[in-house]
Amino acid sequence: MRTPVSSPNAPQPRGPYSPAILASGPTVYISAQGPFDPVTGQALTGPFAEQADQVFRNVTALLEAAGTSWENVVKVTVYLADFANFAAMNEVYTRYIREPYPARTTVQSAIGTSPLAVDCIAVIPG
């Protein structure tokens, strides 16, 4: 369902991601999620790590609603308002995502008032 791909002729990853993923099966595309409380709809305004954790919980809820999980995610895009939060984001990221890591792109982007957003593509098992 999800097989990492690498090559001795391409650079090795320098973080928790795979250079490429070979996937099979139906897929779900999760739109970018921010640090919003699903009950109140309000944005969290606490420390970065708490906001990042809420983002990953929001994505988790959508993956589960689609019948899949982080275990089947093949591509992640992380949007950071400030690249100074890259290490803190990776710390939260690795609480949710295990090897083989999905392919990942992390970009600095103006994303409204949120410090980060995450979208992904996952395979649906079965």
Tokens at residue 2, please?
A: 């999800």
Residue 3 lies in a domain: no
Residue 7 lies in a domain: no
Residue 32 lies in a domain: yes
Q: What pLDDT score does 29 carry? A: 94
Q: What pLDDT score does 4 carry? A: 87
Q: How far apart are CA 43 and CA 41, in angstroms?
A: 7
Cα angle 79, 80, 81; round to 5: 120
CATH number where 33 lies: 3.30.1330.40
Residue 111 lies in a domain: yes
Domain region containing 110: 16-123
Residue ranges, the chain, pLDDT below 70: none
Residue 9 lies in a domain: no
Residue 38's alpha-carbon distances to 54, 58, 64, in angstroms, are 9, 8, 15
Residue 112 lies in a domain: yes
Q: What pLDDT score does 99 carry? A: 94
Q: How far apart are CA 99 and CA 111, in angstroms?
A: 28
Q: How far apart are CA 2 and CA 100, in angstroms?
A: 8
Residue 1 lies in a domain: no
Domain count of the chain?
1
Q: What pLDDT score does 9 carry? A: 86
31: which residues sit within 8 A by CB, 6+ positions away? 119
Q: What pLDDT score does 1 carry? A: 74
pLDDT digits (tens, 9 = 90+) for 66-97: 999 999 999 999 999 999 999 999 999 999 99
